[in-house]
Structure 1
Amino acid sequence: MTLVFIILFGLMLVGVPVAFAIISSGVAYLATNGMSILTLSQRLIYGLNSFTLLAVPLFILVGNLMDFGGISKRLTDWAKSLLGWMPGGLGIVTVFSCAIFAALTGSGPATVAAIGSIMLPSMLKSGYSKESSAGLVAAAGALGPIIPPSIPMIIYGVTMSLSIPAMFAAGIVPGLMIAIVLCLVNVYFSFKNPEVRKRAGEVKFNFKYSLKMFWKALGALGLPVLILGGIYGGIFTPTESAAVGIVYALILGFALKELKIKDMPKILISSLKTSTMVNFIIAAASLFSWVVSRSQVGKVISKGFISMVGGNKNVYLILLILILLVVGCLMDNVAATLILAPILIPIGVALGCNPLHLGVLFCICLVVGFVTPPFGYNLFTAVSVSELKFNQVVKGVIPYVITEVVLLVPLAFFPDIILCLPRAMGFSY
């Protein structure tokens, strides 16, 4: 197994795509153990043989339909009409637009790209600094994989055999907590910026205009209600809800005349590219999980980990957070979930941690890693959207990242914060 890990991390360090690095390490294991190469294709196919995983490409298509259909602009216009008059208001609009759009797409980078392209110009006109604006968008994009429906939570639920509706319910409270804390940090910096205070004072609240913008955004706001209401009402499964979401997004886009037939090839191709990439990583990571399981290395790591923490649950949680923050900024969260969750999470369960609490904490830590310098995925998306240099985005995001990392402490050590809502909804965790 030493050779397998050397190949895996060596290829990743030199820039080989994650999926190819994982498959190469799997091939090395098969070759050194005299196994047939046919096992490779069998394990790759087995990794994708799940009805629930069908929700992943479907939710990706939902997100693209809403994005290309101009729905994200309707959401931000409504939010700006409500809060644009107060210092820090546009920052709050950015955060909650990301939260709402996250509930439509379930993707961090997609949220950063969609909301950032709309909100950044408005924030700059209102006196915000370029660095702070881009940093806030990157940090708020972390809400994408936390607030349901969440693609990482679907993958985690399938991998660890947890209820996906329960995962979705457990993600709502921490997602809202992160959104509120980001808003507070943004307001603090806005009050320290005289230009932002001055520009905000020039904007007046108009109830009629705000009501008009709400009416325009009403269709978009109905999508998460339909998806989550259908799931928790027992009307359809998460996979079926994604299919219903596609139909809803198509009808809404064409009814509002935001979508056109000529846009469909571009939307479908974009969704196909993203879905293919994600599914390729899922298939490759499932191969590696099988290698780890068959070689018994997972049990060896588990025993070593338990020995290192001395059976102390709190020490385990601290190490888990640190590991996932580092992994989150280095590796795609799909691959990280499929490789690390089967190794690290059973240790916590053995120490007495709640599996649902650990699952949501696992996903949140990886997502915060998405905005952690120097390699966070959301940072590169923010660089692309803002057209700033990488170091400028990093400078702007650091206060928000620190805030998110600090918030991980109560989420880790007070499980009821995460578990209160699913328990109130009747889930037995």
Structure 2
Amino acid sequence: MTGIILFGSFAVFLILGVPVSMALGAATMGTILFSPDIAITTAVIPQRIFGGLESTSLMAIAFFVLAGNLMTKGGISRRLVDLANSMVGGVRGGMSLALVLACAFFAALSGSAPATVIAIGSMLYPDMTRIGYPKDRTAGLLVVAGGLGPIIPPSIIMVVYATMTGASVGDMFKSGLAIGIGIMAALMIVVLFFAQKEQWPKAETRITPKQFLVNTVKAIPALLLPVIILGGIYSGILTPTESASVAVVWALIAGMFIYKELSVKDLVPIILDSAKGSAMVLFIVASSTAFSWLFTFSGISSALVNAIVGMNLNPVMFCLIIAVILLIFGTFLEGIATAVLLVPVLWPMAASLGINVIHFGMIVCISNVVGTMTPPVAVNIFSAASVTKLKMGDIVKGQIPFFIGYLVVFFAVVFIPAVSLFML
């Protein structure tokens, strides 16, 4: 009865259009008030909410969001695009390769899928379509390549996952870096195939070694950001939170004093936008803590674990089933909301089968990114539509071959744990 009330009320609130964070809290309160099997007061809700935020790792989220906004407004993303274009822009379909590479560069700075789509799309899409690249294919590639944002570290969803499971943020980032490079390579292979098949444009003017050197020098301050973030974490000198805060300082210095595209008056709206974005994520994490605690307290979690164990599933089949479940949830829930709702339920089951916490984390993170590319939620498609002014149907049609390439890497992660673990 408790499980029916908890998940039933949550589903009803979502159908009514209640925000996820509020729906989680309201479902928790409703279950405590009306379930005959629960003998506790609603005072436990604020206790669990505040307890869920008592983690220094969660502070990294706010700093990563702020650093990403500073980089977008400070001219860093444009230097990365110029560098990417000078590296791969000389072959047929070269600007599409540059788009993938630029998304990978920007992903290593922002950790956000929609931010990557908007930042890179607004700079490359108009020029690409103007010289003859197909609009639907270009927009579709932008949607899928933008999905590198939460995979290539730093990644907000990886920080959230590590906070909930006790996994090492550094190990999550190492695994995400390797998988992100694999996804980038898969997308580039698909691009090269369709560039030849559909005769996409080829750059008429080659980038000279001198121009390449100039673009590289201009991009050095931008490229130092992932070095600061990842180098600080992997070396053990900085924690993820400290590394994120140092990245904010460097992004501020680069934007204001090196590229000189940020002014003091720009800082107030940037800080306000970052505060709103961080608050949204943290509110979901906080309310989900109370929800998942009640799920465990009521005994539903242990019953599910026992049921899964009783099915005698091997780890591979379990991972496949969970991947499909996460893909389904990702179509109608935002990625972080899906993670904070399901990880506390699913991780004990995975642990009981001996599944590595990093391997399971990669399945969670990548499946949630796939949700950003699939309607009806599809924040990447919405972001691409705002940049390209195309209909969602055209974008979805154009993204299909790239989406398949993305899924190939995803299911390689599901079936082959070594793909997630070989860098650890």
Deviations 1:87-140 (A, max 9, x none): 121111111111111111111111111111111112212321111111111101
Is residue 135–residue 393 contact of structure 1 (8 Å, CA) maintained in 2? yes
Larger deviation, residues 29-38 vs 407-416: 29-38
Q: Match for 2:21 among 14, 19, 41?
A: 19
Post-superposition Cα deviations, 1:239-260, rounded to whole Å, max 9, x if no partner, equal 0001101111111111121111
Q: Distance in 1 between matches of 2:292 and 2:216?
A: 47
Structure 2 counterparts to residues 48-59 of structure 1, below 5 A: 48-59=53-64
- 1:425 matched residue in structure 2: none
Alignment of 1:248-259 (within 5 A): 248-255=250-257, 256-259=259-262
- Alignment partner, residue 263 of structure 2: 260
Q: How many residues align?
A: 418
- What's 2:181 paired with? 176
Question: CA 1:43–1:201 in 2, change beyond 3 Å: closer, same or farther?
Answer: closer
**One-letter identity of the residue aligned with 2:133:** Y
Indicate which of 75, 96, 101 corresponds to 1:96. 101
- 2:130 corresponds to which of 125, 131, 139: 125
Pair 1:299-2:302 in alignment: yes
**TM-score of the superposed pair, with normalisation by structure 2:** 0.95
- Tell me the amino acid that sits aligned with residue 372 of structure 1: T
Residues in 1 aligned to 2:383 and 2:161: alpha-carbon distance in whole angstroms: 24
- Please say if residues 183 and 406 of structure 2, whose CA atoms lie closer than 8 Å, have aligned partners that are also in contact: yes
Alignment map for 1:44-193 (pairs within 5 Å): 44-193=49-198
**Partner amino acid, structure 2, of 1:265:** V
Counterpart for residue 214 of structure 1: 216
Q: Is the 8 A contact 2:332 2:377 kept in 1?
A: yes
Shift of 1:37: 3.0
Deviations 1:182-221 (A, max 9, x none): 1111121111223x23xx1423222111111111111000
Deviation, structure 1 residue 346:
2.3
Q: 1: CA distance between counterparts of 2:73 and 2:57?
A: 26
CA distance in 2, matches of 1:401, 1:201: 26
Moved over 6 A (4+): none
Provide the residue aligned with 2:272 in structure 1.
269
Q: Using the alignment, how far apart are the partners of 1:117 and 1:178 within structure 2?
A: 22
Q: Choose which of 199, 224, 245 in structure 1 pairs with 2:247.
A: 245
Listed as ranges, the matches of 1:267-346 within 5 Å are: 267-308=270-311, 310-346=312-348
Give the aligned residue type for 1:203: T
Is the Cα–Cα contact under 8 Å of residues 371 and 379 in structure 1 kept in the other structure? yes
Pair 1:10–1:28, CA change in 2 (3 A): same
Task: Work out which of the residue numbers 32, 43, 47 in structure 2 matches 1:38.
Answer: 43
CA–CA separation in structure 2 for the residues paired with 1:130 and 1:23 = 42
Q: Secondary structure at the match of 1:330?
A: coil
Native 8 Å contact 1:124 1:130 kept in 2: yes
1:359 aligns to what? Answer: 361
Q: Matched residue of 2:152: which SS?
A: coil
Contact 1:145/1:152, CA 8 A, preserved across alignment: yes
Tell me if structure 2 keeps the 8 A contact 1:329–1:377.
no
Secondary structure class of the residue paired with 2:210: helix
Unmatched 5+ residue regions in structure 1?
A: 423-429
Deviations 1:120-164 (CA, angstroms, capped at 9, x unpaired): 112212321111111111101111111111111111001001111
| Contact 2:362–2:413 (CA under 8 A) maintained in structure 1 | no
Contact 2:150 2:156 in 1 (8 A): yes
> Which SS does the other structure have where 2:377 is aligned?
coil
CA contact (8 A) 1:84 1:203 kept: no
The residue type equivalent to 1:68 in the other structure is: K
Distance 2:103 2:171 in 1: 22
Shift of 1:311: 2.4
Contact 1:325 1:372 in 2 (8 A): no
Tell me, in whole angstroms, the C-alpha distance in 1 between the residues paired with 2:339 and 2:226: 25
SS at match of 1:127: coil
> What is the one-letter code of the residue matched to 2:268?
P
Give structure 2 stretches of 5+ with no counterpart: none
Q: Hey, what's the Cα distance between the residues in 1 that align with 2:294 and 2:383?
A: 33
Pick closer, same or farther for the CA change 1:329–1:84 going to 2, 3 Å.
same
Q: Is the 8 A contact 1:120 1:386 kept in 2?
A: yes
- Aligned-residue sequence identity (percent) comes to 40
TM-score normalised by the chain length of structure 1: 0.94
